[in-house]
Amino acid sequence: MRLRDALALLVAAGLASCGRGQDGVVKMRGFTPNTGLQKDTREIRAYCPNCGMQVEVGAERCPDQRHCKARIDWDEKYRCAFCGGTGKCRACYLMEKEGGQCFNCKGKGFLPFRGRTPQCPDCKGSKVCTVCKGSQNCDYCGGEKTVALATVRERARKPSEGKEEGVEEKKPAEKKPEEAKPAEEKKPEEKKAEEKKPEEAKPAEEKK
Ligand SMILES: [Zn+2]
Ligand SMILES: [Zn+2]
Ligand SMILES: [Zn+2]
Ligand SMILES: [Zn+2]
């Protein structure tokens, strides 16, 4: 997976530089929506290269002054992981949207249906990819392939922001207090299916 490769590279870069302060670890996670109906789960977080504690982007030292005290350096810019450093719109790429056109209506803006032409629910009639607005550039880096430190800082989730609305926090699917219930209420297979809930973003759901 490209996204994972990008992360590995960033981590490796963080580890490789000793001597001066180590480079802060910047992780770009989540998924670019493929359509206008999908949720944007992208986020950036930064971590201390020494102890792994979440830090604010640009922090000069690890906030853990009791145990870590690491000095942290930051690069001027970071490879955009949301387009894999290509600068191209991820949604266009994944959905094979031709020329930045809306995939759902094939650039028509409407969907012919029993002789009528209701507006396309994805592009809302704009005819183009709602993510890049038809430019075919990655909407996150604007086609630059990298994201400047200032932008990373601005967009990164602050450590204090915690997990609320944590777009991509991998919570195990809400555990119900099953202990309280009679055990035979669920068959084993059903239980398994429930545990296997997809953790990652789901593909676009068609509007009903
Ligand atoms: Zn640290
Ligand atoms: Zn696009
Ligand atoms: Zn459309
Ligand atoms: Zn990008």
Residue type at position 167: V
First to last CA, the chain: 32
Coil, strand or helix at 192? helix
Cα(156) to ligand 4 centroid in Å equals: 15
In the chain, where the domains are located? 1-88+137-165, 91-134
C-beta neighbour count of 147 within 10 angstroms: 24
Cα(54) to ligand 1 centroid in Å equals: 8
Cα(101) to ligand 3 centroid in Å equals: 8
Q: Which ligand is nearest to the CA of 118?
A: 3
Q: Which ligand is nearest to the CA of 147?
A: 4
Cα(137) to ligand 4 centroid in Å equals: 8
Tell the residue number behind the tokens 């000069």, with chain if given. Answer: 60
CA–chain centroid gap for 110, Å, is: 29
Quickly list DSSP for 49-97.
Answer: TTT--EE-TT-SB-S-TTTT--BEE--SEEE-TTTTTS-B-HHHHHHT-
Using an 8 Å Cβ cutoff, are 88 and 94 in contact?
no
Q: Which ligand is nearest to the CA of 136?
A: 2
Q: Which ligand is nearest to the CA of 138?
A: 4
Cα(53) to ligand 3 centroid in Å equals: 43
Cα(151) to ligand 1 centroid in Å equals: 23
Cα(26) to ligand 4 centroid in Å equals: 15
> Which DSSP state fits 154?
H
Cα(185) to ligand 1 centroid in Å equals: 47
pLDDT in tens, the chain (208 residues): 555 565 555 555 445 444 567 999 999 999 899 988 899 999 999 999 999 999 999 999 999 999 999 999 999 999 999 999 999 999 999 999 899 999 999 999 999 988 999 999 999 999 999 999 999 999 999 999 999 999 999 999 998 875 544 444 444 455 444 444 444 444 445 444 444 444 444 444 444 4
Cα(195) to ligand 2 centroid in Å equals: 34
Query: For residue 83, is it left (φ>0), alpha (ψ between -120 and 50) or beta?
Result: alpha
Question: Between β-strands 43-47 and 54-55, what pairing exists: parallel, antiparallel or unpaired?
Answer: antiparallel
Q: Determine the Cα–Cα distance for residues 81 and 7; give it in Å rounded to an integer.
A: 8
Question: pLDDT tens digit string along 62-74?
Answer: 999 999 999 999 9
Q: Determine the Cα–Cα distance for residues 22 and 156; give it in Å rounded to an integer.
A: 19
